[in-house]
Amino acid sequence: MPRSPITLFTLALIGMAPLGWSLGRERTAPVADEVVIKAADFAFEVPATVRPGRRVIRLVNGGSDLHHVFLLKLAAGKTMGDLLGALKPNTPFPAWAKQIGGPNTPLPGGESVAIVDLAPGTYVVMCVIPAADGMPHIMKGMVKTLEVTGAPVEAATPKPTATAALNNYGFDFAAPLAAGRQVIEFRNDAAQPHEAFLARLAPGKRAADLLTWLGKRDGPPPAIPVGGITGIEPGARQSIIVDLEPGTYAWYCFLPDVGDGREHVAHGMIREFTVPAKGLAGPPKGS
Ligand SMILES: [Cu+2]
């Protein structure tokens, strides 16, 4: 198995309602021609076929565990069976399976949205988040083939309101993020895949607190997942649509490094940021 992008995130995130702060269950308003993928414990419901184009993919997590959509595009002639046969512990994906991203993890009961360029072909939709027993969800049945075929969809997708580059090892934003509905476009400038996992931090918590918590799981988690994108290949672009409430957040990349196999967060690919309340963005220039 490839290491999970969120290897250690498991059941402890489930009982967080008593935290008493916003659970961030964003449900961004639907746009035209969405592709809806439903996740349950432990299965995906995907459309029989999807038309190609720049498609809005909405993950609806109806389960009680954490799930994401991790898309792989298979080379011509390869099948899901080939992929399952090729996956080995702590081994990269085969070269004929390309990481195409998809909506990253919302809270159980929540949704997340990514805008994905889908070229015609055969894809695999999978969830590699580990369950309480440590077994990745893909091994519990969360893997499906998705056929992208037919006439391209020409519907316009939302234009980015913010852009960021993924590199070794950081998230470079062109400008600070504001509250409200944002369309954030990521571009992978590195020579290896990266993801952008977004979490909202509990009051007073710092980005690194989540990593510490993941190592011990003592007490309530200091952050909750609110989407993002799963792994994309070098040179690829992908956007998310997210409603940002004021608060403190962080981006994380948990993908394993092509060099040493450690998660990219261990290389410093973690970035905390604050979304100010509207109207509190700071003094005007020149004041
Ligand atoms: Cu899952």
Residue 86's pLDDT is what? Answer: 94
φ and ψ at residue 221, rounded to 5 degrees: -65, 145
Least confident among 74-88, 181-195, 211-225, 244-258: 211-225
Instruction: Output the CA–CA distances (angstroms, integers) from residue 257 to 37, 210, 266, in the order listed.
Output: 28, 20, 9
199 alpha-carbon distance from chain centroid: 10
Q: Partners of 35 in the beta sheet?
A: 57
User: What is the per-residue pLDDT for 31?
Assistant: 67
User: What's the 220 CA to ligand 1 centre distance in angstroms?
Assistant: 21
Position 62 pLDDT exceeds 50 = yes
How high is the pLDDT of residue 20?
32
Mean confidence (pLDDT) of the chain: 88
pLDDT at 189 over 50: yes
Beta bridge partners of 71: 101, 125
Q: Alpha-carbon distance 255 to 258, whole Å? A: 9
CA 40 to CA 62: how far, in whole Å? 5
Out of 5-14, 186-195, 217-226, give the one with best mean pLDDT.
186-195
Flag whether pLDDT at 205 surpasses 70. Answer: yes
Taking the centre of ligand 1 as the mean of its atom positions, its distance from the CA of residue 147, in whole angstroms, is: 20
Collapse the DSSP code of 227 into the 3-class scheme (helix H, G, I; strand E, B; otherwise coil) and give the result.
Answer: strand
Is residue 23 over pLDDT 90?
Answer: no
The residue type at 10: T
Tokens 């100010």 identify what position? 276
Domains of the chain, with CATH numbers?
11-275 (2.60.40.420)
Rounded to an integer, the average pLDDT of 4-33 is 45
Q: How far is CA 9 from CA 50, 154, 165, in A?
A: 30, 37, 25
Distance 5 CA to ligand 1 centre (A): 12
Mean pLDDT confidence for 135-156 = 94
**pLDDT for the residue 239:** 98
Give the DSSP per-residue string, 180-194.
EEEEEEEEE-SSS-E
Report CA(227)–ligand 1 centroid distance (Å). Answer: 13
- CA of 67 from ligand 1 middle (Å) equals 3
Quick one: pLDDT at residue 281? 53
**What average pLDDT score do residues 67-96 get?**
93
Say whether pLDDT at 5 is over 90: no
Residue 128 has pLDDT above 50, yes or no: yes
